[in-house]
Structure 1
């Protein structure tokens, strides 16, 4: 499987990603998920079915899916047949087949399940399916998808999705992709979404609340807002420059990678940080303050649609390819608006980094530090010194080729450094050694 390798240590269990050794699965590749679910907000009860289309990568007798222990499975079929055995334990659905499947065989896995979903505890706090005061939020990064549906929960395992969710009629339900239908019956409304572009499981989301939906822009990329009515006035001010932001990012990064537009959800609750999903960004009511106090975060989350959501890391050690790029997009937006320039922001954050512990290697920060702010800021600084080294024309041509070449694909750091070499007149190896592979923060003026 592309980007996946077993642990080298003799006798160790197979591991797809050392940063999340218990997550991800071997033996097959998923191409599509179809979720048919019902959720009761008042009692936090989820039940329904997942139909998973996959192909075997090796001869298969047993295999696993990631699934939270908070959810129980009542029925499983594989290609229409009941397996010899299935059980849930340790965050996995274990399936044993009655007959072996050869490599290259089509596999349709149907799972009926339900329960009281809750977030998954991780090194980075609780992730996944979370109750709000009145509704639901799903924050899947990095391993929260299994909190609400059975899956192969790894960033390199991309698939298309169809999500049908029924919930109480007063609520608005949003998931990824195009809204195909909205049907009300007997106090429940069923919402059906189709996400055609290949998407990592952690980027699949479900947001339910007492929301209204509004179109912000219909020229170029469609932009929608989904939020409580009470926040509408502040939202129009705080998020009002998103169409201009989208126009800039399309100019600098290349075409917007999705066919279904971009949606911003603002929950009625406060959130510590906003989060990205495929085609969707989610903010808390606290990010809607009437003062444009969160505009850098708005730029950051929008940029993730290119860097992270379309072009996605194969393994989490390469996360600077998500966060460094999205952070640098904040600086580019500030520069475009005539506020602080990228040079000024680089100097400011370089000083902060030199005053911080210098024990982080950007290209492999370790699982505990992969969401450390130093990854974000040092990643942005790495891009800034690269821009200085190769010049604006080459730098932005590189970004456009990067997003086009790896559109809806999976990447590692070497993919970027290899591509960047074509845009440089001198070797970039000293730059990469200093900024990506050494813990010390290099001087900022060494590259001009």
Structure 2
């Protein structure tokens, strides 16, 4: 090792003005490339110290001189050949190949070629690498890049990009059918939009075909547009709608099932089980589906309850109006004026009451409270009874008195059977003049 550096090195020791130790290599050769360590042993404060550091002697990598991609056009799953050559410097030089996807700025490493034992006259390592890469449809539109680096730039050194993007041809993928609105079934009269979406290079063509549910073999082709519109669908529009995507590479298809059924009535709703029906609903089955239908008796019950409530409210207000009317009439009667006079022959004239007065001095138009046998007799009857009792014979004529009393009782009984038409409440009379209908004691018993 000493012979390698004889007469080519110069060591500058630390001095008072500079504490750095410097090693100078002269007339460099390839073997001078490597890592150097500096070791310092010094004494301070009665102690020995050691200090080491590393230093690398390297040659820079240069930009690749050649980078080829072949072919630029190929089909999916075919092989792409990439070749790159560059002076990668020293030590530990290598070549890396990167892929930049379409619509992306991120480099993805796909290949690395390490150095060999071949060194040039200036000690720089040279690499010529070839790499094969199987493409996929995701590589369509991608670019590739080759870079050279060593220990000085381990991640990515000087690079060279391909000038043309790769075109990868592939057939349509399985089409995706988008339904608008997206439902499991549709009702008669609805509109549906079906859109068929796929991906291919070159672009694909679309064919729509229809197979009704009541046919098992034949399907009819009726559209070549990406979007299919069905307006005012009917029951016969139910079936399988197949979208077929075609290009020069391959063909692919997908099928959407359209179920069409009659519209539900306003009082129906679709369910999975009859257990979901409420207390006011009944379960019906139609076309293999179950529906909850509002019971018609529920409307009858609601109307009946409403009419009953309306009837009771009307009765209540009519009774209140009637009661107010009666109270109004009663107050009107109490304020009506008393007649100035009555005819003398009127049965209601005070003279006809045989001089009977109440405790307050008001003439009584009927029997007095003491006349318990008068019943419903008129004042005129009471007066006749007084007159006849005044003409009774002396006490020694008992037989005739008995006969007279019997006659009077008979006459009184007949009076009780008469229709009481005279002792009627007169609305024009003051309330204080009402006839007192309480029974009075029999006048004969008082004699």
**Bigger CA radius of gyration:** 2
Structure with greater helix share of residues:
1
Greater relative contact order (CA < 8 Å, ≥ 6 in sequence): 1
TM-score for the superposition, normalised by structure 1: 0.18
